[in-house]
Structure formats: structure tokens, C-alpha cells
Structure 1
């Protein structure tokens, strides 16, 4: 073996997998076919759950220190959700994907993991022991496992001939990063009577401190093939159709055409190869859910692969990646398709679309509706259907970031997860014996209000009440952390 895990793709998903493997003590090689990192902003923000996960690895504070990243307002199909602004410890922030990529790549380089660029993967073979990937330059890499994080047009997925069912793109719209004069630095979604529309939201500032905006724009007769170049005149014409003379194009940073295709891999695992991020699911870029879902895929998969490499993964642990993440990806595709309908993506101005949006806008004024949508969009409402913990209110949910009064000093749950190991909260101090059997993989602290076993990815794998005797705890240890030492 040349390495434990080969990761194809150096976007946020692949880089996050590499960091998780590093924490787990597994070797990883990251390859990418591009000669250098992309300059395109792509996704525009980092959701609450992803920020919480970065905090659990000690990465959030240095990421926020990379520039001005203002907190934003959640929306669903362009409908504001103002009541959700302060619901979570970490609000949605405008951090473009290019910033996340550069930050993660630099972080890994500081740990001795450097992306191997100009590595175009052309062949793939696997057997009972590992995977062999061949490249255009004639070289090959042998690994125990391979993670395909190589985007929506994944070469690995094609080589596997993996099913990628869903909806083909029926139209294109423009996505662009730009500076505008006269535009408010807030989220705006607007149509004209002919169905032309524009969606704006802030991206923070450029190196000179000037505010940047992301624009999505479309309408009847504005769809073009994806490879047709976008001109400044085309941008100006679309802006004029929606805003008149209210705004002026000052600078066009980049623009591309995107489609409303929505597809999801039928299986995320193919023997020793795993699909993650856009290689596993593609959809319209609404709410940066593609990047955030991909990072969450990586967090779910990384520690499980690490356990398999180290030889203590329980039977079924690697299969739980598909079981837990495929339903999440499917739910994201559904909410994106619902949002595209509410936004009238194709600019039909059909009466039934307008009526649906008016009704939904009225319903979205209800606090409970806003909270439900926010939980879905932010990732904070994700709940994995875990075996053996039915009826436990916290099991399968992200662990609450409790403030714990410990000896020698206070700490938060997120801080205790930075080792990449599991965590057992033992308020009454009664589970030392069982926890000791997994002491090399799980940290135990006497603190909290009720006992819970937290997996390395920050999700609760078992939870007992305040008076729990530990029923099911040992089985949960074995399920997530393998055989005791």
C-alpha cells in the first residue's frame, strides 16, 4: 500500500476527509487534476452545523480570522426567515468556498499533508485488499480505500459506472460574483412582470475592503448553453430588466452558467470506494447546501474510515455511511427543488406558481415554520436513525455544546471533541469501568446533566436519562468504537 486512503478531489469535502483521517491516525493522499486551486467563489456561505463541526476541530476561529465574514439571514426560496437569526451559537456566515478551500489546504500543509496537483485519474481497479488508481502521467497509487470527492462530473463515479439517477437540467441561469453600485448589501430577490428575476446576497469584501455580491439571474429567453461565454453586457441587460437604473455594474469578478439538474448516487459505497460531496449529489446552489452537505459527508465518513484502517471498526460501521448520509442528501435535493419552484427559476410567472409563493410567504411568518425551515437548511435538525437507541430523545442528533464545570477548569463539549476521539459524559461518575474498556478511543469526563456517548463526528450515539443505569451503553460503545481493547 502507498497510503491508507486515497482522496480524489481537493475541494472542501476531500480536504475535510483528509483532516479527519489525520486525527484518526490514518495516512491519506489527496490528488486533484487541476494544476492549482480554483479562484471561483462557488458556494457562498457556511451553515451553523458546519461551523459547529469546525469548532469541534479547533478550526472555526482561525477560519473566521481569514477576513470579514458577516453573519447572514437565512432564507427559503428568497423568503426571509428573520426569527432564526440568533437561534444557534454560530449563525450562517458569508464565507465563500474558495476561502474554505484555501484555509483547509493550508491547514493540512501545516500538518505535512500536501495536495498532489496535476493528477488526472484515468483508471481504477479494486480487489479484496485495496484500490489501485492510475493517472494520465502513467503513475499509480495503491490504497486500502478511495474517497471520490471529485465533483459533480466525477471521474471515479464514471469509472465505477455507478448509478446517478435524478432530473437532468432543463434550463440555465447565470451565477456571478460582482461589485454593484446602488445595491443594498443584503439579500434581495426580485422579479419583473415578464418573469425576469435576480437574487443578490452579500459575499463579504474583497482584499481592498470593497463589498462583493453574489448574483443569480434568469428569466424567459435568457437560458443559454453552459459553454456560451457570459459578457458584461448580458449581465447589465439582466440587471436593467429587474432593477432599472437602481444598480450599476462596477466590476464583474467571474460568471458561469448553472443548471437545475438534481441527481443523487444510488449507492454511496462501492466496495472500497466511497462517494462524497458533489460526486454523490448535485443540485442548484441554494443556501450553499452543496458545500455544507459535502463537508458533513466527510465528517461522517472520515472517522469511520480511520477506525477501519486502525483495525477496530465494528461490522457495519462503513456501511452506516450510506445509511446515514443518503437520506440527508435526498432531503437536500427535495428542499432545493421546492425552493426553485418558489423562486420561479424558469421565469414562468405562472399563476399557480405565484399563488404558491404568496401562500408560502404568509405561512413563513409563523415562528414554528421559520424554525423548522432553519433546522433543515442549517443542518442543525439532522437526525440519524441509529439502531438500538429508539426512544432516546438526543440520540442521532448533534451533541449540545454544553458548558461543563470540570477539574481543572471549565470546558465546552465542542472543545473536548478536538482530539478526534469519542466522548462520554458521565455526570454521576458511574461508568468508569465500561468506559475504561475503550479508553484509547473515547475520552470520559465527569460532567454534564445527563449521560451521553458522543461519536467523533459530534453526533450522540447513545443517551441516558439523569437516573440512567447505562442500559445499552456497552452495546453502543461496541457499535461505534469496535471491540474493547
Structure 2
């Protein structure tokens, strides 16, 4: 039987939202922790990226670092109106008197990921948690008693537990011999950030448009966040995404969807084929390495399950490590880590399935689905649930993973 040296820090690979949350969650549980990050402290974090922060995520952040969740709420916005159009015709619109619900933590907030990360960095600084910048993981050797990590700056680290939160190309995952399994979307998607026009702002509403005639019949989604807008465009299978993101084409798209005032306001533009994959296992054979966030799973963005499920991974990884770190019996420590893996692998399967259901709904050509959408659009003027179904279906089911749950995605 081995015991953890309680002066030895747990090591986190990756200083993204998931890695930083893991560190705060460990600190809150009285476990010493340090972060190693491949990039430099002045790294480029362009793009709004994960803008939709679920209430469950906000509550987790508030719990592990009091004030963090409410700071994000104050900085973000809660849009009150949902609106959906079908081939240019409005089929659903609803404005809520209290869209965020009651209490200090709303159902969600809409805020650029770069802002979320800035608040996380401030929280780490306040907690005295160190980030070692330009310190990429090179090798990982795990064993029954802990993990040896070599980093790009020539250092070697001995740690009782390592959390791989180092993204989709995770070195940690590769080093423990775990593969991704899954597939990716057929279509490309274009995502653009557009700055707000302050003297003529658009209504604060989320607008989804099936087969938007203003962009030649492509699906579009427009979502407000603090300081601007996210414009998503679903490409056709035969589109050349590199051609569509040229300035003249993006200007046309933005102008058509948002108005003349916005055609020179777009900034960050990116194209994706969304992957639907997860690691075969979220832990190593010795129960000393845990994977979290995009190192463990990549999801299509529908339902905003990516960063939000990564934060849930982080909190549960920290909970498992905290028990294992202080355990006096190895079997207890291993059992906690195995339980983390079982729960989060099940959650990842659920989230991949839910996002995949939305992805198939949007880009699939199943005749039954096509007919259901057409029928719902024709009924929407007379039967509100038909319009609500059209509004809601692109985001997948709203249920939670079929596991003992704390309400996390």
C-alpha cells in the first residue's frame, strides 16, 4: 500500500477553462495543485468560442471560488427572446419576462470565452495557484504510485495525479495510449464574431433561420453576447468553406443577415467540421491520470455541451482526486477514480448522442425529418407547439445524462 505525500501537488496539463476550473476545484478541496501550459502567458485567444454558459456551470464556478459565478453573470447577458424562421417566414417567437429565472445565478449567461478565461485567471491568482507557461507536456509515465511528467522546458515532475485538460490534440491522452473514437460532420460550418453597432443595436434575441433565403438557403443562427454577436452559417456539402470566408463573401453574409450597418463589423471568422468523438477511457491503467474536457471528448456545439460538460468533468475529477489523495487505502483511491471515469464516460456518450441528434436533424436528408419540419412550419401559425418544436429541435434534447447527477451537463 502507498500513501500520497500531502506536500506534493497534483498536476494539471492545460490552462483552458477546464484546466483552470480543475485547479480551482482541487484548491477548494484542500489539494495542492499546479498547472503546466504549452502556450505563453500572452497567448492569442481570439474569438468568442464557447459563449453560452449554463446555469449549472455558473453554480459550479461559484461553489469552487465564491464570487466567480456571479462575476460572470454580471459581465454576461441573458437574452430574453427566442425567434425562429423557416424559409424566410417567422414560425416562432417568444419573449420571457424573466428569461434568467430567479436568484443570483440565471439559467445561462452569454459571454465570450476570453472573458470567462480572464476571470478564471484572476481567480487562480487570488487562490495562489501557479501556472507554468511555455511548459508543454512531452512525456507521461504512470505507475501504481504516481506519475512522472517531462515538460518542454526540461523539467521533470513527480505527481500523485495528473489531469489531462490539454485539448483535442492532448499529449496526455496520447501518452497513456488512449485513442479517440467517433466521426465528424459532413458539412462545414462558418462561425463569425460581429461587433455591435452601438448607435443602432439589433434587438437582443437569439434567431435561428432554416434555409435562410438571404444566404442562398443555408441555415443561420444569430446569438448575442456581451459586446457583439455570434453568426453561425451551415454550409452545403459542396461548398468551398475557404472561398466563403473571404472578406467579400462574409461582408455579404453579414449584411444580408444583420443589416448594412454590420457588413464591416465582423472580426474573427473560423470554419469547422464538428467532431463527435470521445476517448476510449478517461483514465489510465493505474488510475493516476484523468482526462477532462476536449482531451476526453469533442462534441458538435448544439446545446452548448462542450465547455459546459468540460467544467462538469473538471469538478468531478477534482472530487475524485481529493478523496483519492487523502485515502489511506489504495483500493478506495482507485475506486474513486474509476467512479469518475464511469460517470463522465456515460455523460460524454449522452452528450455526443444529444449533439449528434441535433446535427442529424440540421444536416440530414432523412425524408421523415424533412416532412416533419415542413409540416410543423405549415402548422406554426395555428398551433404554437409546432413552431416551438422547430425552435427547440436544433439544440438536441434537454435531459441530463442517465447517471447519479448533480445537474451538470
Give the TM-score normalised by structure 2: 0.79
The 2-side partners of 1:204 and 1:177 are apart by: 11
Q: CA deviation at 1:369?
A: 7.9
Given the alignment of the two structures, is residue 40 of structure 1 paired with residue 56 of structure 2, yes or no?
no
Matched residue SS, 1:365: helix
Q: CA deviation at 1:256?
A: 1.4
1:203 equivalent in structure 2: 225
Matched residue SS, 1:318: helix
Shift in CA distance, 158/34, structure 1 to aligned 2, threshold 3 Å: same
Q: CA deviation at 1:96?
A: 2.1
**Worse overlay, 244-253 or 356-365:** 356-365
Q: CA deviation at 1:377?
A: 6.4
2:356 equivalent in structure 1: 337
Given the alignment of the two structures, is residue 265 of structure 1 paired with residue 247 of structure 2, yes or no?
no
Given the alignment of the two structures, is residue 327 of structure 1 paired with residue 346 of structure 2, yes or no?
yes
Shift in CA distance, 397/14, structure 1 to aligned 2, threshold 3 Å: closer
CA contact (8 A) 1:92 1:378 kept: no
Given the alignment of the two structures, is residue 303 of structure 1 paired with residue 288 of structure 2, yes or no?
no
How many matched pairs? 375
List runs of 5+ in structure 1 lacking aligned partners.
206-211, 386-395, 399-457, 460-485
2:205 equivalent in structure 1: 186
Mark the structure with the bigger radius of gyration. Answer: 1
Which has the bigger relative contact order, CA under 8 A and spacing at least 6? 2
CA contact (8 A) 1:172 1:224 kept: yes
CA contact (8 A) 1:121 1:134 kept: yes
The 1-side partners of 2:84 and 2:141 are apart by: 43
Superposition CA RMSD, Å: 3.7
Aligned positions of 1:271-420 closer than 5 A: 271=286, 272-311=288-327, 313=332, 316-344=335-363, 352-358=368-374, 365=385, 381-382=400-401, 384-385=403-404, 396-398=405-407
CA contact (8 A) 1:277 1:294 kept: yes
Shift in CA distance, 69/192, structure 1 to aligned 2, threshold 3 Å: closer
Aligned positions of 1:109-188 closer than 5 A: 109-179=125-195, 183-188=202-207
* Greater fraction helix: 2
CA contact (8 A) 2:222 2:230 kept: yes
The C-alpha deviation readout for 1:337-370, integer Å capped at 9, x for no partner, is 22223333x8x7x765532434677799289989
List runs of 5+ in structure 2 lacking aligned partners.
87-91
Given the alignment of the two structures, is residue 232 of structure 1 paired with residue 247 of structure 2, yes or no?
yes
Give the TM-score normalised by structure 1: 0.68
